[in-house]
Amino acid sequence: MVNKQGQTRLSKYYEHVDINKRTLLETEVIKRCLSRSNEQCSFTEYKDFRLIYRQYAALFIVVGVDDTETEMAIYEFIHNFVEVLDEYFSRVSELDKMFNLDKVHIILDEMVLNGCIVETNRERILAPLLILYSECVDSDL
Amino acid sequence: MPAVSKGDGMRGLAVFISDIRNCKSKEAEIKRINKELANIRSKFKGDKALDGYSKKKYVCKLLFIFLLGHDIDFGHMEAVNLLSSNKYTEKQIDSMDSVKQSAALCLLRLYKASPDLVPMGEWTARVVHLLNDQHMGVVTAAVSLITCLCKKNPDDFKTCISLAVSRLSRIVSSASTDLQDYTYYFVPAPWLSVKLLRLLQCYPPPEDAAVKGRLVECLETVLNKAQEPPKSKKVQHSNAKNAILFETISLIIHYDSEPNLLVRACNQLGQFLQHRETNLRYLALESMCTLASSEFSHEAVKTHIDTVINALKTERDVSVRQRAADLLYAMCDRSNAKQIVSEMLRYLETADYAIREEIVLKVAILAEKYAVDYSWYVDTILNLIRIAGDYVSEEVWYRVLQIVTNRDDVQGYAAKTVFEALQAPACHENMVKVGGYILGEFGNLIAGDPRSSPPVQFSLLHSKFHLCSVATRALLLSTYIKFINLFPETKATIQAVLRAGSQLRNADVELQQRAVEYLTLSSVASTDVLATVLEEMPPFPERESSILAKLKRKKGPGAGSALDDGRRDPSSNDINGGVEPTPSTVSTPSPSADLLGLRAAPPPAAPPASAGAGNLLVDVFDGPAAQPSLGPTPEEAFLSPGPEDIGPPIPEADELLNKFVCKNNGVLFENQLLQIGVKSEFRQNLGRMYLFYGNKTSVQFQNFSPTVVHPGDLQTQLAVQTKRVAAQVDGGAQVQQVLNIECLRDFLTPPLLSVRFRYGGAPQALTLKLPVTINKFFQPTEMAAQDFFQRWKQLSLPQQEAQKIFKANHPMDAEVTKAKLLGFGSALLDNVDPNPENFVGAGIIQTKALQVGCLLRLEPNAQAQMYRLTLRTSKEPVSRHLCELLAQQF
């Protein structure tokens, strides 16, 4: 998840990449996506990966996959993810993500496990988070 | 069980567990369990409604009993009730599902990290059965796991096909009610469907007719739905639908067996080609590319040629244009090659810099592959240089020279065309190189025309000379010395050029050396010597196009990045296309040296006086960085290791060898003195050969010694044991020699047979190629059409295929062809190819180290008197080699 200025807001790896190589990788990936216009298609190749990206206001969500995935399915999965965030944060913004990074991670973990899509149903994705959150509130009281 | 470990009460459970642990005997344990079961049963059946806490506690107890290995036949409803509870801690009890899901994906992770660690067998059935799980998350995870596992053990997981099909069918037909939660904008479980379709692509079409019928029905439903009006105007709806559609089409293409579905898929993609969404156009072009290679849909794809050409011209996204170019390349065949090549050339003028080189390679390949008349080919390549000279790599212009050199019907035309092209006030340096080379070889063919008389040719070339790089100037100097030979009238002019201080004392050593040597050669050598040294280049050995090799390399994984530095492009050894990677090829400093066939050709037998100059000429392409070419280089020394200096094979050796490719017995060689007969038989990777040496004279041969020599590293590929024969062969007598042969691994060159003896005091020596070619170790394999196509498709990497189109050298008789193919060693398969004129064969090459499966297809074209031969094997050099061997038989 990257903003228009090229700052990474959230990144998650399902294959091992050296920590010090990640920054370089992310920079290159972001550059690749930012340099593309709206008229261009949302798929591009980067080294051995295919990048699939979508833009929401000033935020880009980029997914790198190997050739075992279907572009269109991932493309729509990004939207599903954004809808889940939207529902949870009620109209999600970049700030929401910055200050609730833990929750975004939990949501993503519910949806993607070990690099595989596992859950796509909105209520089920949010259920654990809602319960966790309500218990937190309870214990705070 | 996280809820248990948490200290949130459930004391009863803790007590129960400690009771069990304290049991002294098995009987005591069973007694305690039965007591507890009775208790729980009464609680569940009791009138009093249980609260969430108690329910959770009892279900936990039941779970614990279950884990101890006892059967539980009640309590499921209570467990399900917990799932629907809105309290997370209660819900979690039922989260066995999420444990399964995590376990499946964890196993996948382990398997990827170390495949051997994961034992197959006992639990494969359990994994496959997860496809039946009620929980969609579990199914999704299981599909990912199976997709990965079944690649290595397809047979173990075969049962997943029918389960996947029925699951898919239930989703697609919206028959199951458990999908409510997983319907995304009116599309039932899109991501799971995509994954199931992907899983099915690991297998050939289902064998069971019922399963297959059900699957075909699914695929048809998906295609039908695409035509129905959308259930929602939302883009999410169509995106999800299209995701399934694209994966369905992939599966149809993968099966490649349902012509009806393939054509429908093609039409669907054709619609997408004109869709306003760029993403869809991109994916449709990409999908269609694979569709073009299926023989059922190739024609259907071709109908969209205008749309695709239009896309190439109008698309605003370079990656879409690139896909369009890929598709044009894929749909190209003899019928539309001219149109496609001319469109690609036109596109090249405005193409993005990033993809120019690739387009140039593609045009060059198509032009060569589908050239009916070679003048069109020459025109195309020269156009390439004119339009995009900077992107025409060495491979491309080397290739045009190879082809012109090898085909004498096009040489005159080529000379005329380059001459005209060079008239342009500004022409690309590559054009000067091609022009220089061709005029140097074939300039005489157009010298009759006063407009291109020798002096005109020379001054035209020389007008470009000063603007060119050192490498080009070096090449031009060679052209000049060739001119002196071709056109004696230019000698004085050229000598003056060579003598000029700017050449003779050039700062560049290579140019200086050439100028000095050529000048001396032209002044001291007699016309005869000059004519011998500067003779026309011999034909290049036929081999895979180096351009094709280059395109493959370009398509390979991106090299040189920081992230994948451990990775190597597997084809990178193949720079020169067609030479086995011996130490010498790896260390070759310049690919051009190989292009000229230095290694394949026997050492030049030029007179010693001119050997240096001869080498220099052969070296014409070598830039200044090349090593000095006087005397044999270390590589050459390495490559002719001949023990006790055996001579090169006699000139007819290849022809004689070819006679034995499809037969095992016959006369291998005969002259006035000696006749050599061969009888041989081969089984699996072993063979026995009897050689009969007949003395045709009435005088005894003395010191008669036939030996078998393994050139290069053939030693490691083929073991040949020979028995010594008597050193004397009486006049009129025949001696027999037995050879035991074992094929260790695949090999490309046959061993040599060197025969030496003294006849009437004079030493005689003779080197032949022993008729042992890789196809001798063929085992024919019979298979059904379906299996054939499946295997054919499995070998679909470009480097696994070798293809040759060639003119018939013998009358085209189907029976003779059949006999030859059988003699070649493969099985002939009937009713496989839709066209009964074609021949299809299959076999396995048996070597000690490995087996190489081979599929072949021969398509005769009686009208054109041509054949097209296609070989697919799992090993690239083998495909090419077999293709070359077999092509010479017809």
Cross-strand partners of B666: B678
Residue-wise burial string across B322-360, b where 16 or more C-beta atoms lie within 10 A, e elsewhere? bbbbbbbbbbbeeeebbebbebbbebbeebeeebbbbbb
Distance CA B292, CA B335 (A): 14
Three-class SS of residue B767?
strand
Instruction: Compare all CA atoms of chain A with the CA of B102 and give the residue at the minimum distance.
Output: A113
Position B90 pLDDT exceeds 90: no
At residue B460, the pLDDT reads: 93
Rg, C-alpha atoms of chain A: 16
At residue B631, the pLDDT reads: 33
Q: For residues B808 and B635, which has the higher predicted lDDT (pLDDT)?
A: B808
Measure the CA dihedral A91/A93/A95/A98, to 10°: 100
Looking at residue B550, its amino acid is K
Please name the member of B144, B194, B563 whose beta carbon is closest to the beta carbon of A21. Answer: B563
- Give residue-wise pLDDT tens across range B177-208: 556 678 888 888 899 999 999 999 999 999 89
Average pLDDT of span B717-739 = 84
Cross-strand partners of B753: B708, B768
Q: Does A12 touch chain B (CB under 8 A)?
A: no
Please name the member of A42, A71, A120 whose beta carbon is closest to the beta carbon of B191. Answer: A120
User: Exposed (0-12), middle (13-18) or buried (19+): which is A67, by Cβ within 10 Å?
Assistant: exposed
Cross-strand partners of B686: B683, B742
At residue B811, the pLDDT reads: 81
- Give residue-wise pLDDT tens across range B640-662: 334 445 777 888 888 888 888 88
Distance CA B761, CA B754 (A): 19
- Say if residues B328 and B363 touch (Cβ distance below 8 Å): no
- Give residue-wise pLDDT tens across range B773-789: 888 888 888 888 888 88
User: Which are the contacts of B666, defined by CB distance < 8 A and separation ≥ 6?
Assistant: B659, B660, B677, B678
Look at residues B342, B336, B254, B256 and name the one whose alpha carbon lies nearest to residue B297.
Answer: B256
Our CA-based measurement puts residue B156 at a distance from the nearest CA of chain A, in whole angstroms, of: 21
Q: Contacts of residue A131 in chain B, CB cutoff 8 Å?
A: 87-88, 91
Please name the member of B106, B108, B317 whose beta carbon is closest to the beta carbon of A39. Answer: B317
Position B118 pLDDT exceeds 90: no
Average pLDDT of span B808-821 = 84
CA atoms within a 13 Å half-sphere pointing along the CA-CB vector of B549: 22
Q: Contacts of residue B106 in chain A, CB cutoff 8 Å?
A: 114
Q: For residues B398 and B10, which has the higher predicted lDDT (pLDDT)?
A: B398
Position B561 pLDDT exceeds 50: no
Instruction: Compare all CA atoms of chain A with the CA of B554 and give the residue at the minimum distance.
Output: A47
At residue B213, the pLDDT reads: 92
- Pairing outcome for strands A116-117 and B183-184: unpaired
Average pLDDT of span B583-595 = 32
Q: For residues B603 and A134, which has the higher predicted lDDT (pLDDT)?
A: A134
Residue-wise burial string across B391-400, b where 16 or more C-beta atoms lie within 10 A, e elsewhere? bbbbbbbbbb
Average pLDDT of span B542-565 = 54
At residue B605, the pLDDT reads: 34
- The dotted CATH code for B648-772 is 2.60.40.1230
- The dotted CATH code for B775-888 is 3.30.310.10
Distance CA B527, CA B32 (A): 114
Rg, C-alpha atoms of chain B: 36
Our CA-based measurement puts residue B58 at a distance from the nearest CA of chain A, in whole angstroms, of: 23
Average pLDDT of span B473-484 = 93
CA atoms within a 13 Å half-sphere pointing along the CA-CB vector of A128: 15
Please state, in angstroms and as integers, the Cα–Cα distance from residue B329 to each residue in B138, B359, B379, B466, B544, following that order.
42, 9, 19, 39, 19
- Pairing outcome for strands B851-861 and B839-846: antiparallel
Cβ separation B140–A116 shorter than 8 A: yes
Please state, in angstroms and as integers, the Cα–Cα distance from residue A6 to each residue in A10, A45, A60, B521, B851, following that order.
12, 19, 9, 66, 52
Three-class SS of residue B458?
helix
Question: Which H/E stretch holds residue B714?
Answer: none
To the nearest whole percent, how much of chain A has pLDDT over 70?
Answer: 94
Q: Does A5 touch chain B (CB under 8 A)?
A: no
First-to-last C-alpha distance (Å) of chain A: 34
Chains A–B, number of C-beta pairs less than 8 Å apart: 116
Cβ separation A75–B147 shorter than 8 A: no
The label of the residue with tokens 């969500």 reads A61
User: With the C-alpha atoms ordered B35, B37, B38, B39, is the resulting torsion angle positive or negative?
Assistant: positive
At residue B575, the pLDDT reads: 31
The domain containing residue A44 runs over which residues? 2-138
Look at residues B590, B594, B569 and name the one whose alpha carbon lies nearest to residue B580.
Answer: B594
Average pLDDT of span B764-768 = 85
- Give residue-wise pLDDT tens across range B480-503: 999 998 898 899 999 999 988 788
**∠ Cα B771 B775 B777 (to 5°):** 95
Three-class SS of residue A8?
strand
**Total count of domains within chain A:** 1
Distance CA A109, CA A12 (A): 10
Position B728 pLDDT exceeds 90: no
Three-class SS of residue B72?
coil
Our CA-based measurement puts residue A28 at a distance from the nearest CA of chain B, in whole angstroms, of: 11
Look at residues B85, B30, B35 and name the one whose alpha carbon lies nearest to residue B55.
Answer: B85
The full length of chain B comes to 890
Structure-block tokens of residue B628? 């000095």
Position B589 pLDDT exceeds 80: no
To the nearest whole percent, how much of chain B has pLDDT over 90?
Answer: 19
Distance CA B485, CA B532 (A): 10
Backbone φ, ψ for residue B476 (5° rounding) = -65, -35
At residue B633, the pLDDT reads: 33
Average pLDDT in chain B:
79
Provide the CATH number for the domain around residue A40. Answer: 3.30.450.60
Confidence category of residue B247, pLDDT binned at 50, 70, 90 = very high
At residue A138, the pLDDT reads: 52
To the nearest whole percent, how much of chain B has pLDDT over 70?
Answer: 84
Cβ separation A124–B194 shorter than 8 A: no
Average pLDDT of span A97-105 = 83
Distance CA A111, CA B140 (A): 11
- Give residue-wise pLDDT tens across range B689-706: 888 898 888 888 888 888
Q: Contacts of residue B316 in chain A, CB cutoff 8 Å?
A: 37, 39-40
Instruction: Compare all CA atoms of chain A with the CA of B247 and give the residue at the minimum distance.
Output: A70
Position B225 pLDDT exceeds 60: yes
Cβ separation B141–A118 shorter than 8 A: yes
Cross-strand partners of B842: B827, B855
Three-class SS of residue B333?
coil
The torsion region of residue B189 among left (phi > 0), alpha (psi -120 to 50) and beta comes to left
Cβ separation A118–B247 shorter than 8 A: no
Position B622 pLDDT exceeds 70: no
Distance CA B540, CA B477 (A): 22
- The dotted CATH code for B258-331 is 1.25.10.10
Q: Among A134-138, B469-473, B669-673, whose mean pLDDT is lowest?
A: A134-138
CA atoms within a 13 Å half-sphere pointing along the CA-CB vector of B59: 27
Q: Contacts of residue B198 in chain A, CB cutoff 8 Å?
A: 68, 70
Our CA-based measurement puts residue B570 at a distance from the nearest CA of chain A, in whole angstroms, of: 14
Instruction: Compare all CA atoms of chain A with the CA of B101 and give the residue at the minimum distance.
Output: A118
Task: Choose, out of B563, B564, B565, B567, the residue to mutate when testing the contact with A (most A CBs < 10 Å).
Answer: B563
Cβ separation A48–B558 shorter than 8 A: yes
Residues tagged in the binding site annotation of B: 11-12, 43, 53, 57-61
Distance CA B151, CA B108 (A): 12
The reported pTM is 0.58
Average pLDDT in chain A:
85
Confidence category of residue A79, pLDDT binned at 50, 70, 90 = very high
Looking at residue B202, its amino acid is C
- Give residue-wise pLDDT tens across range B657-668: 888 888 888 888
Cβ separation B181–A75 shorter than 8 A: no
Question: Which H/E stretch holds residue B675?
Answer: strand B674-683
Measure CA B699 to chain center: 56
Structure-block tokens of residue B591? 């690919």
Average pLDDT of span B239-251 = 93
Q: Which of residues 21-40 of A touch B (CB under 8 A)?
A: 21, 24-25, 36-37, 39-40
Confidence category of residue B618, pLDDT binned at 50, 70, 90 = very low
